[in-house]
Amino acid sequence: MHKLSVVIAVYNVSEYIEACLTSVLSQVYQEVEFIIVNDGSTDDSFQKVEKLVDGHDNVIVIDQENQGVSAARNNGVKVATGDYLGFIDGDDIIAKDMFQKMMDSFINSDADMVTIGVARLSGEKIYPSSLHERYMKENKTATTIAETTELLYDTTSWNKVFKKSFWDMHQLQFPEGQMYEDIALMVPAYLYARKVNIIPDVGYYWRSRDAGTKSITQRRNDIAMVKDRLLALEKVNQVMDELDIQGDLRYQNERKNFEIDLFSMIEWAFLAPKDYYALVQRLIKNYVDQEMKTTALEDIPKEKKRLFKDLLANKRALFLLNSYAYFGKKAMRKIVK
């Protein structure tokens, strides 16, 4: 039985940490060490962790000053002693047989990584993760991202197990000090991987949390988030250039960028101040001009394409008009449903 190391980043999750660790400590797979990194929580998360893991000799607890989730994960990896490596967020839960299924999958092929199905969790309600449904359709053994390009949408790190030698060989780590750290890590990992196994069964339950008093608009129209997401996309493109990735995989990556990543930056811009629009317009245009190499924009849904065309041409009035039209239709579709 191979040893698995699992890093659990914890920051101000007092309300959820008991459920998380209860699911973690009841795993069927036994040859596992859990490395819990408290990232300077200001609530009683750390105290709850110490109480919950008392008596479990396969748990390592690290208490550090707040450095961000990437640093917490990286510091956990530094002390990992397993042959395989996984991650969990401290507010999520996992099925009791998740790691058993994933480790069994490695036996069937000499894969570099295994990914498993994800569901969303809100209170007691469980519902599908639309992000993961794109590729979690069937079991696949020894596939690649070039063969299964839907994996481009699987940019979360916590529903994965990696071979530790693969992780070390490619010097993988989470970028510290920026958001969207998973994108900058996961797509390059897929590009490097010789073999990937896919398990469609739901093993990971990703919690949807109340964002507090901030409105959706305030959370989305955030320049720092835009800049960090663009940095993550640039990292992916850099690795694609290094590996000379062309053809359909490059095209599919750029299509996903337009439909998901870049669109998230402009989706609510029609409600933002004029200076936000001006800065985002410049940032996205520079990114498209410098990074995009295929005709992917022409093939995305026409409503989204129209908004990008307006934005890239800096036709703000048309952009605003078409944004209102887009969201009007979107709202009507929800009402009809």
191 vs 166: CA distance, rounded Å: 12
pLDDT in tens, 136-180: 889 999 999 999 999 999 999 999 999 999 999 999 999 999 999
Which amino acid is located at 269 in the chain? A
156 vs 136: CA distance, rounded Å: 13
Which stretches of the chain score pLDDT less than 70? 210-220, 332-337
- Cβ–Cβ under 8 Å, residues 20 and 98: no
User: Would you call 169 helix, strand, or coil by DSSP?
Assistant: helix
- Residue 228 has a CB neighbour count (10 Å cut-off) of 19
Among residues 200, 182, 220, the alpha carbon closest in space to that of 128 is found at 200
> Checking DSSP bridges between strand 160-163 and strand 84-89, what pairing results, if any?
antiparallel
Q: In this predicted structure, what is the pLDDT of residue 217?
A: 35
The pTM for the full model equals: 0.91
Among residues 164, 162, 114, the alpha carbon closest in space to that of 140 is found at 114
Q: What is the DSSP letter of 176?
A: T
177 vs 189: CA distance, rounded Å: 20
List, in sequence order, every residue forming a beta bridge with 307; answer none if it has no partner: none
Query: Helices marked H in the chain — which ranges?
Result: 17-25, 45-53, 69-78, 98-108, 130-133, 164-169, 181-192, 216-220, 223-242, 247-256, 263-266, 274-291, 302-312, 316-336
Among residues 96, 46, 87, the alpha carbon closest in space to that of 66 is found at 46
Cα angle 137, 103, 53; round to 5: 115
108 vs 284: CA distance, rounded Å: 43
89 vs 314: CA distance, rounded Å: 40
- Cβ–Cβ under 8 Å, residues 294 and 254: yes
**What Å distances lie between residue 267 and 154, 226, 329, CA to CA?**
21, 12, 14
Say how many CA atoms lie within 13 Å of 152 toward its Cβ.
23
- Cβ–Cβ under 8 Å, residues 33 and 71: no
Query: Please, which contacts does 235-239 make with residues 24 or more away whose CB atoms are closer than 8 Å?
Result: 235/175, 235/183, 235/184, 235/188, 236/183, 236/184, 236/187, 236/188, 237/291, 239/187, 239/188, 239/191, 239/192
296 vs 220: CA distance, rounded Å: 24
Helix (H) or strand (E) holding 113: strand 113-122
